[in-house]
A and B are shown apart, each in its own frame.
Chain A
């Protein structure tokens, strides 16, 4: 296999991620923050698929994360279902809601569509807040169980400790990123890109634009659902506030700061947004101010986010002219 930079970077990230529990053995707080960051990176992958590759803006995506979260939580807590099927059903539920929302809404022109996604996010939040009997209302669902121990021969994995759950989250995140790569670097991904670049041209070349947008929307909602589920399993509690408007907007901020349209953009963005402020001991309120400022800088100087800037520098240093092709 050709030794390309992206391959080296991927292996390095995977290695670091896999070894993190060992590296930070004596600093459980670091693992805690990394786990949280990964739980956010997953829904951002969904937003990346939708916005970075298909060109659709969704301002209510945390709502879908909430569907996955509550579904998985209820199945595991009340029905005692094991982790894997509960997670899959959670993903199917959020993907299904995404499909239902997408069918009427994706035919709308872009500005209307954006407003509608905002509304959908708010509606879902209201449902989480008010369907007390199902979701526990504003107080949410406490006492969500962690996944059961997993044994293979003499090898045991438990998920109650910070490092244990971190490892699970790492594996799930890696699989989600793997799925992203699979989708993006396929004929399907190429068609999505064509929809983003020029819908009229895509149609003229045989792309069923609506079907592609709908598929991307449903997939991104399902992925968001996985992220939501992991988050509430981690925190062992689900609450509506986790899935309200500000959270949805945070997803977009993470993606833009990390780099929309780049495979590791979501990871960079989530780590930057969640982990960095924690490690810098910044207060929660200041974080938003700081990221507002960062967004302005990015919009002006580096619209392709951190990944885009790195790629640009890379090209300049290697002497190639900084052309548009940024793939993936």
Chain B
């Protein structure tokens, strides 16, 4: 059985800097995976490559055995790859409800023009119930008709994640979801992610700096260092791995 996500020998340089230098790892089954590494490890670039934002100089990324490196982000989204952004992006002028509904909208241009003419609202009605359920899940149902721009940062973060779910993705990529979140709300965020994992049973790949958060959330951790994959394993293994500790503290 092929891996769900397979990264082989990916390299990417920017100017003179080798951000990713022959990185290889694979995610075999559904689960919550963390992608960590000290500053300059290349994890953010690796994440951006998987999301289609950068084209690798060499190597391949395969999603369910299909090559996805070099495919435009909007195509990847339609293939079931959903992602969040480190700076937390939502559509600020739209209501929370519309934000969630938009994720489920069929965005093929032809279909959209057809809908303009046929004025079919059946699709929106059908997904409306699911959208409400998701908003209820994150306690934002009462904000359904408020603009997303009016929410607090933490609320927007949850809205962003829940919007991803609306498109029934096959893989969820989260870019530093804990960043900017009040420490008291981190437990809520963690519990929420665990719950939606239980519901969807898809692959979560989470880039994180907050070690405590990711170690208590992920079932498996991939550690990058200086552009390569240093280690991969369960959190306890990684936490006691000397090469990982040396990577973070710097070798003396």
Contact = CB atoms under 8 A, between A and B. Distances in A.
Contact of B92 (A190, A203, A324): A324
A204 B91 contact: no
Interface string B128-157: 000000000000000000110110000000
Interface string A184-197: 00111111011001
Interface stretch (A3-11, A155-163, A206-214, A282-290): A206-214
A325 interface: yes
Contacts of B72: 203, 208
B78 A206 contact: yes
Nearest to B95: A325
A183 interface: yes
A171 interface: no
A246 B81 CA distance: 47
Interface in A31-46: none
B106 A203 contact: no
A206 B78 CA distance: 5
A209 B74 contact: yes
A194 B115 contact: no
A299 interface: no
B112 A191 contact: yes
A259 to B, nearest CB: 14
B80 to A, nearest CB: 10
B90 A201 contact: yes
Interface string A140-164: 0000000000000000000000000
Given A191-B105, A191-B112, A206 B167 contact: yes
Contacts of B77: 203-206
A47 to B, nearest CB: 19
A204 B75 CA distance: 9
A200 interface: yes
Contact of A323 (B103, B119, B147): B147
A327 B89 CA distance: 20
Contacts of B107: 187, 191, 205-208
B185 interface: no
B117 interface: yes
Contacts of B51: 204
Interface residues of A, number: 30
Contacts of B90: 201
B42 to A, nearest CB: 21
A207 B74 contact: yes
Contacts of B92: 197-198, 324
Contacts of B85: 200-201, 204
A205 to B, nearest CB: 6
A211 B93 contact: no
Interface string A53-87: 00000000000000000000000000000000000
A202 B102 CA distance: 10
A191 B102 CA distance: 8
B249 interface: no
B147 to A, nearest CB: 4
A203 B91 CA distance: 12
Interface of A: 182-183, 186-191, 193-194, 197-198, 200-209, 211-212, 215, 323-327
19 contacts: A182-B117, A183-B116, A186-B115, A187-B115, A187-B116, A190-B102, A191-B112, A197-B91, A198-B89, A202-B74, A203-B77, A204-B51, A204-B77, A208-B72, A208-B74, A323-B146, A323-B150, A324-B92, A325-B93
Given A194-B91, A215-B109, A323-B147, 7 more contacts: A191-B107, A191-B112, A197-B92, A204-B89, A206-B107, A324-B150, A325-B94
